[in-house]
């Protein structure tokens, strides 16, 4: 079995690559091409196909996931992005999503409210006045490490945003 680099194959046998986008590379075995990487149009790097979001039109997005996230974050900061977010927040679709979350996560919301009321009543200290339980940075929020059951509403640890995201993923 002979493997060819698609870029070299394009130079040697351009008629075989008809229909294959120029920014996708892979290996060829006989007459079939196994696509393994794609070139991001933004950062110009070849990356694995799993590094691209799925697109309805062509199968994969033109930009890799990391470039998409950067572009999206930059757009959210623009005036148009802020306006679009405000309009979306007022739509019936967004309100339905919010209502569905509230009905599915009632204990979580009640636990967070209980902690917030305890902070306001000076029964608990604010999390930003404490150090993260897992790393030496300043904490930003509390983590319900034992769950959201009513008996564990006040069993919380102060965590920074990064550690909180990591521990949320471990639970989910």
pLDDT tens by residue, the chain, 172 residues: 333 344 444 455 444 444 445 555 555 544 445 578 889 999 999 999 889 998 877 688 899 999 999 999 999 999 999 999 999 888 999 999 999 999 999 999 999 999 999 999 999 999 988 999 889 999 999 998 888 899 999 999 999 988 888 877 766 5
How far, CA to CA in Å, does 20 sit from each of 27, 72, 139? 12, 28, 50
The DSSP bridge partners found for residue 5 are 27
Q: Residues 141, 147, 148, 152: is their CA dihedral positive or negative?
A: negative
pLDDT recorded at residue 16:
43
CA dist 160 and 141 (Å) reads 6
């Amino acid at each position: 079995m002979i493997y060819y680099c698609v870029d070299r194959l394009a130079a040697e046998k351009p008629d075989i690559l008809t229909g294959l986008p120029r920014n996708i590379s892979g290996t060829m075995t006989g007459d079939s091409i196994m696509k393994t990487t794609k070139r991001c149009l933004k950062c110009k790097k070849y990356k694995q196909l799993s590094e691209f979001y799925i697109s309805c039109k062509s199968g994969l997005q033109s930009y890799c996931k990391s470039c998409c996230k950067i572009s999206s974050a930059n757009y959210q900061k623009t005036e148009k992005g802020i306006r679009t977010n405000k309009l979306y927040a007022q739509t019936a679709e967004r309100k339905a999503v919010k209502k569905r979350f509230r009905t599915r996560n009632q204990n979580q919301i009640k636990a967070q409210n209980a902690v917030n009321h305890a902070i306001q009543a000076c029964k608990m200290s604010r999390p930003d006045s404490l150090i993260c339980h897992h790393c030496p940075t300043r904490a930003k929020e509390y983590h319900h490490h034992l769950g959201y059951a009513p008996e564990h509403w006040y069993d919380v640890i102060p965590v920074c945003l990064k550690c909180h995201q990591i521990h949320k993923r471990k639970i989910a």
